[in-house]
Structure 1
Amino acid sequence: MKLIDLSCYLEENPFAEPFPVTINFHSHSESAKTLANMLGLEPTAFNDGLALTHEDFSGQFHCGTHIDAPLHFGPIVEGKPAKGIDEVPLEWFFNDGLRLDMRHVPRNGLITMHDVQNALKKIDYTLKPFDIVLIWTGFDKLIHTEAYLKEQPGMSREATEYILDQGVKVIGVDMYGFDRSFGFQAQAYKRGEIKELFPGHMVGRDKEYVHIEKMGNLDALPAAFGFKVACFPVKGRHCTAGQTRVVAICE
């Protein structure tokens, strides 16, 4: 059995996190002073004067590799209150996986239903309920460049609906977000070229599903299918997302 990490780092990276993330590490000696003060002791009470260290984190659950919950898309999904990440069935997060090659889609391009159908035809695969579909654009390789946030392709409404209509509940992408870059969408909307912002996300108001954003390393998969994916999210009470360590399990 081989385990393949399909996650990106949770880190301070201005190229990949438009909403600030801060991670402050405390040294072992600094922690000894802090804990000693809390416990009424001297720092020397700890072995070698070094205590258990930690880091302080500030950021969203939508940073690093994470899963967007139905609640992220809107308050109502399929006519019912939208689920928080803690309410989504665990069974969704461990299933057969497959990778669809979308590396041909241009920067700020739209991944269409025909792209999905052609990718499935190339690997001779028929989608089945609860497959975890991974969209491979290769954009994770740009995660430390300005292009990562400004030029990513995105899922169209039609492509998303087509996948979900086959019974799929989880779709993963190796871009910052599920839709095209924020700035590109805004300018296209102002020019009247598009009528809907975040169309891939908005499908989640009509069809209950979740998607994984900011994946990576999809090129390390040995084949387009024939592996399991585990992607259990952090259990934030009624939160709109949860960070996850996505792992492909290959026999």
Structure 2
Amino acid sequence: MAKLANIKAEDFPDKMALATEIITASAHSGTHVDAPYHYGPICEGKPARTIDQIPLDWCFGPGVVLDMRHKEPGTEITVEDMKRALEKINYKLKPKDIVLLYTGCDEYWGTDTETYLRMQSGLGVAGLDWLLDQGIRCIGIDAWTLDRPIHAMVASYQKTKNKSHLWPTHMHGRKREYIQIEKMANLGKIPQPYGFLVSALPVKFEGCSGGWCRAVAIIKEKSSFLTSPNHFTRS
């Protein structure tokens, strides 16, 4: 812009112009929201909504943390797991609650990539269906994917040759509409399992399958950041 205005950096106070950056990254880098279009082009028999088309009230609302840290990495989070977690905190899900699955995986952020990718449990299709039946439309997790980790899914596929074992929870989004927040962090720092608000408004990338977000828990005028400390861009 300075060049267009025919001025140089030396013309500014302290002989310095303004800082700016150009960022090139996947819309699924760092903490982000997956839109239905991420799962496939058709959802519930209609064109799947892209990240700029999802209702914003799906990304802002009452939050509830379900503690799944007892689950072994690679295992499936089941309906019974979530029911027990809700009984433990004496809470009943309400439509439009934002459910946050606390696996403890974010504690491995900053270790080697292979370790981080393995240290999570993941939501199964039966569990996803149950949440959707309760009126939930947004589900967050403190891990790389809402599904089980890659190595677990691939091992199941190689053993059975059943394609439904590959990203089953994502693929189920072709049948039922929902969004997910991936690569969250610091869920354990929220001082209460419910009674707070979650804001995870995604960047409005036109026609895209996902968008970065700054996920925040809002608690009595104080905020606890839930975003990952760095962008996770390695494959």
Q: Specify the TM-score bucket, using the shorter chain as the normaliser.
A: 0.7 to 0.9
Rounded Cα–Cα distance in structure 2 between residues aligned with 1:236 and 1:50: 32
Match of 2:120 among 152, 157, 167: 152
Deviates more, 1:144-153 or 1:46-55: 144-153
Partner of 2:228: none
TM-score, structure 1 as length reference: 0.82
Partner of 2:156: 188
Partner of 1:211: 180
Q: For residues 188 and 196 of structure 1, do their structure 2 counterparts lie closer, same or farther at Cα, with a shift above 3 Å needed?
A: closer
Partner of 1:59: 25
Rounded Cα–Cα distance in structure 2 between residues aligned with 1:217 and 1:113: 24
- The within-5 A match list for 1:71-90 is 71-90=37-56
Structure 1 residue 49: deviation in Å? 1.5
Gaps of 5+ in 1: 1-34
Q: Cα deviation per residue 1:194-242 (whole Å; 9 max; x = unaligned)?
A: 6421111122111111000000111111111111111111111111001
Q: Cα deviation per residue 1:4-55 (whole Å; 9 max; x = unaligned)?
A: xxxxxxxxxxxxxxxxxxxxxxxxxxxxxxx654543333101112111122
SS at match of 1:175: coil
- The within-5 A match list for 1:35-184 is 36-146=2-112, 147-184=115-152
TM-score, structure 2 as length reference: 0.88
Q: Cα deviation per residue 1:106-151 (whole Å; 9 max; x = unaligned)?
A: 1111111111111111111111110000000111110112311134
Given that 1:151 and 1:180 are in contact with CA atoms closer than 8 Å, whether structure 2 keeps it comes out as no
Match of 1:220 among 172, 176, 189: 189
Given that 2:154 and 2:165 are in contact with CA atoms closer than 8 Å, whether structure 1 keeps it comes out as no
Q: Which runs of 4+ in 1 moved over 6 A?
A: none
Q: Root-mean-square deviation (CA), in Å?
A: 1.5
- Which residue type is aligned with residue 114 of structure 1? E
SS at match of 2:160: coil
Gaps of 5+ in 2: 221-235
Residue identity (%): 43
Aligned residue-pair number: 217
Rounded Cα–Cα distance in structure 2 between residues aligned with 1:55 and 1:153: 36
Q: Cα deviation per residue 1:168-206 (whole Å; 9 max; x = unaligned)?
A: 000000001111222331122111186421111122111
Rounded Cα–Cα distance in structure 2 between residues aligned with 1:137 and 1:196: 21
Deviates more, 1:49-58 or 1:99-108: 49-58
Rounded Cα–Cα distance in structure 1 between residues aligned with 2:83 and 2:171: 21
Matched, 1:246 2:215: yes
- Which residue type is aligned with residue 73 of structure 1? Y
